[in-house]
Structure formats: structure tokens, C-alpha cells
Amino acid sequence: MRILVIGASGTIGRPLCEELGKRHEVIAAGRRGPDAVVDIRSAESIRALYEAVGPVDACICVAESGALDRFETLTEDELLENMRGKFFGQINLVLIGQSFLKDRGSFTLTSGIFADEAWPGVTGGAVISGGLHSFVLSAAIELKRGLRINAVSPTIVADSVEAYAHLFPGMEPVEMDRLIGTYVNCVEGSETGRIHRLYRPAGSADTGFPLG
């Protein structure tokens, strides 16, 4: 398969490209490439990316992370700015990309734990991830030609604990191998409309909850 990975130079993107590259042709994209350049905050840049790389079998987005915010001073403009990349950018990858993916191709988006777990300072992140989950469920029944869509919703990644654990004390990390395996399964599998939660949402039962 030809697989387009957006955010290829990031913490998740690098090992993901390495694993996929063992079996597939990987096109590594991001603000600085290396194979293709894109700014997912711009619909025009996304369209130019698809036109430049040609037909692909899968598009995976691991780019953009939601900014921290302060609820007592949060404004509509700040929320919109926070949503421009991770929310609207990923949605545009699908809305624009549906015309460029090959039949039975797949999209895999990235949301996050704050869709299900309330945490101080991440209202924007919660709105973004919750909205992405709803979008994936709707898109799964709307996409034509056998196109599939899923989302991976991780908690903090074990490889980032040293840098970010102080912001999310007590949050249990997900191991990188498990995270990468989930993205790979989304591409190489056959399911659609699935939210792969790599954590147990607050208030869920101790057993029987699908964890991705």
C-alpha cells in the first residue's frame, strides 16, 4: 500500500513510519517534510498535498496537539485557533482526501483522552477530541467506494512522560508499541467507525470495556 503519514517527524510519527515502512510505501509529510510538505491548518495546503503525492491507499494523521488553556479567561477566538489544526485540519484531510484515496482506502485520525476524561486546562482539547469522535462516526456511514475511517484516542505516550507528566500528574501512559500497533491495525484491518480508546474512561466498569 501507499500510505500518507502526516506528522511523520513527531514523537509518534517517526516510529509509525518505521513500522509501516517494513511492508508498505510510506510518504512522510509534515511542515518540514521530509517527503512532502503540508500545513493542515490550511485547506489549500491539504489539497496541494494530495495533488502532489497522487492516489494513496491510506492517510494517517498524527500531527498537531491541542494547546493548554485557562477556562476563566478562555474566549471563542482562542477555542477556534486551538481547533484550526487538530480539529478542522483532520476533518479537511477527510473531506478533501475522499476524492484522492483509492477504493477501499482508509483514514486514521488522532483524538485523545480528554474526550472522555475531564482535566484542568484542556477544555479546547476536550472539545476537539469529542468532536472528532462524532465526526468519525458520521463519516463512516457517509464515505463511498468502501472508504473507511477510524480514530486512535491515546492518553499520554510513555515516550513523552519525562517532558509532559508534570502537566498531567497521575495519568497512566500508553506504551509506544501498543499505540503504533493500533494505528497499523487501523490501516491493515477492515473495520470502520471505530474509536480506539487506549485508556479506560472515568466511570467505566473494570471489565468488559473495549480498549482499542
Q: Is residue 202 part of a domain?
A: no
Residues 6+ apart with CB under 8 A from 111: 128, 129, 130, 132, 133, 151, 152, 153, 195
Domain range for 137 is 2-197
Q: Is residue 100 part of a domain?
A: yes
Q: pLDDT of 23-64, one tens digit each?
A: 999 999 999 999 999 999 999 999 999 999 999 999 999 997
Q: Is residue 206 part of a domain?
A: no
Give the integer Cα–Cα distance in Å for 66 and 58.
24
Q: Is residue 89 part of a domain?
A: yes
The pTM of the full predicted model, rounded to 2 decimals, is 0.92
Residues 6+ apart with CB under 8 A from 73: none
pLDDT above 60 for 208:
no
pLDDT confidence of residue 61: 98
Residues 6+ apart with CB under 8 A from 180: 12, 15, 16, 19
- Averaged pLDDT of the chain: 92
Q: pLDDT of 143-156, one tens digit each?
A: 999 999 999 999 98
pLDDT above 80 for 165:
no
Q: Is residue 122 part of a domain?
A: yes
Confidence tier at 202 by pLDDT (50, 70, 90):
low
Q: pLDDT of 87-141, one tens digit each?
A: 999 999 999 999 999 999 999 999 999 999 999 999 999 999 999 999 999 999 9
Q: Is residue 47 part of a domain?
A: yes
CATH of the domain at 184: 3.40.50.720
Instruction: Domain count for the chain, please give it.
Output: 1
Confidence tier at 210 by pLDDT (50, 70, 90):
very low
| Packing angle of the helix pair 76-86, 123-142 (nearest 10 deg) | 50
Say whether 95 sits in a helix, a strand or coil.
helix
Confidence tier at 206 by pLDDT (50, 70, 90):
very low
pLDDT above 60 for 204:
no
Q: Is residue 79 part of a domain?
A: yes
Q: Is residue 212 part of a domain?
A: no
